[in-house]
């Protein structure tokens, strides 16, 4: 697996993480100018789950950005599979995301206050195997998020939250994934000894904290076939007639350091978040940490 991952990283070296300009896991505002673009890739590792996510982003207008992300599994696991990163779906899928920076106030030299509203739609590209039964219906995915931040030369602060809804258009599947919620708080810091002037390699560090609640899987068409837990009978329906599948969903809070290095038109990011709270339901595996690394190439100054 490591060989595969290494090859994929090397192969993907020319590409980029579309939002490789701020936090790695958490929310931030759009960044591309009108006509600017970026391509990239990001590798995520969740205690045994490997995902690689190619991304492309384009600045339609100064405050309007579109991006396409298509993460896929190199290896899957048994963790709750809801949204756990701000700008990448938690499942192998293709997502179109539109970001509107509705608040943009440059208040001084190197300082800005910004807020962006995101809306996205996604469709699965790979099935996500499940130990307890058939893959869950979870598409199309509909995503809405809000991010706000204060940016300065020596520090940044970002807050955000997003809601991921999973529809159930998949036919012949009774079980479906319910919605998930993700929030984040990020503090960025550029040490004074790295606070050089342009043109110079730029380095920033972030302390990122994410909190997520992944919804339970449900079977709301009645207990027909399938298992409730490792071959056992499904649990009885609740008063609303919905059968809740026990080994699904969960709650987690993760926090840790990430770093961003930009040089020329290239950005490289990496970081690790540790579990402060990890409560997966049922017999799903616990996560102790999450690792991500990204590489982004920017096409700048391409105004007509």
Partner 1 sequence: MRKDWANALRVAGLVVLLSSAHSLRAEYLRVELRVYGLDCELCARGVSESVQRMPGVKSVDISLKTGLLEIVLAPGNNFKMSDLRKRIRENGFRPMEATVTARGEFSGPKFQVSGSNESYDVAKSHPKDDGPIELTFDVR
- State the residues that interact with partner 1 by CB under 8 A: 21, 31-36, 61-63, 101, 104, 106-112, 151-153, 156, 195, 197-202, 204, 262-265, 267, 298, 300-303
Q: How far is the CB of 230 from partner 1 (least distance, A)?
A: 50
User: If 0-12 CB within 10 Å is exposed, 13-18 middle and 19+ buried, where does residue 243 land?
Assistant: buried
CB 210 within 8 A of CB 253: yes
Q: How far is the CB of 191 from partner 1 (least distance, A)?
A: 14
Q: How far is the CB of 24 from partner 1 (least distance, A)?
A: 15
Q: How far is the CB of 148 from partner 1 (least distance, A)?
A: 15
Q: Interior CA angle at 188 toward 160 and 158, to 5°?
A: 15
Q: How far is the CB of 261 from partner 1 (least distance, A)?
A: 10
Instruction: Name the residue nearer to partner 1 (CB basis): 205 or 274.
Output: 205
Instruction: Name the residue nearer to partner 1 (CB basis): 152 or 187.
Output: 152
**Which residue is listed with tokens 């208040």?**
107
Q: How far apart are CA 255 and CA 185, in angstroms?
A: 9
DSSP lists the bridge partners of residue 114 as 104, 149
Q: How far is the CB of 77 from partner 1 (least distance, A)?
A: 34
User: If 0-12 CB within 10 Å is exposed, 13-18 middle and 19+ buried, where does residue 212 land?
Assistant: buried
Residue 172: Cβ within 10 Å count: 6
Instruction: Name the residue nearer to partner 1 (CB basis): 111 or 126.
Output: 111
The enclosing H or E element of 148 equals strand 141-151
Q: How far apart are CA 78 and CA 33, in angstroms?
A: 40
3-state secondary structure of 5: helix
């Amino acid at each position: 697996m490591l060989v595969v991952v290494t090859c994929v990283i090397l192969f993907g070296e020319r590409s980029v993480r579309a939002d490789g300009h701020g936090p790695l896991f958490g929310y931030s505002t759009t960044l591309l100018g009108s006509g600017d673009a970026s391509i990239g890739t990001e590798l995520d590792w969740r205690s045994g789950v490997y995902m690689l996510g190619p991304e492309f982003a384009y600045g339609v207008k100064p405050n309007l950005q579109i991006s396409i992300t298509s993460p896929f599994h190199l290896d899957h696991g048994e963790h709750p599979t809801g949204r756990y990163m701000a700008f990448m779906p938690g499942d192998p899928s293709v997502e179109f995301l539109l970001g509107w920076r509705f608040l943009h106030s440059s208040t001084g030299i190197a300082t800005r206050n910004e807020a962006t509203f995101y809306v996205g739609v996604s469709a699965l590209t790979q099935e996500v195997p499940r130990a307890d039964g058939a893959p869950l219906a979870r598409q199309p995915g509909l995503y809405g998020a809000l991010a706000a931040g204060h940016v300065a030369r020596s520090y940044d602060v970002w807050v955000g939250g997003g809601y991921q809804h999973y529809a159930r258009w998949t036919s012949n599947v009774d079980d479906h994934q319910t919605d998930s919620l993700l929030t984040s708080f990020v503090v960025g810091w550029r040490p004074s000894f790295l606070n050089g002037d342009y043109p110079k390699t730029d380095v920033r560090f972030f302390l990122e904290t994410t909190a997520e609640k992944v919804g339970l899987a449900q079977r709301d068409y009645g207990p027909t076939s399938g298992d409730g837990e490792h071959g056992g009978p499904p649990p009885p329906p609740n008063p609303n007639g919905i059968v809740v599948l026990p080994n699904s969903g969960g709650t987690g809070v993760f926090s840790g350091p990430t770093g961003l290095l930009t040089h020329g038109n290239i950005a490289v990011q990496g970081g690790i978040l540790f579990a402060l709270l990890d409560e997966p339901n049922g017999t799903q595996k616990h996560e102790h940490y999450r690792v991500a690394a990204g590489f982004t190439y920017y096409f700048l100054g391409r105004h007509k």
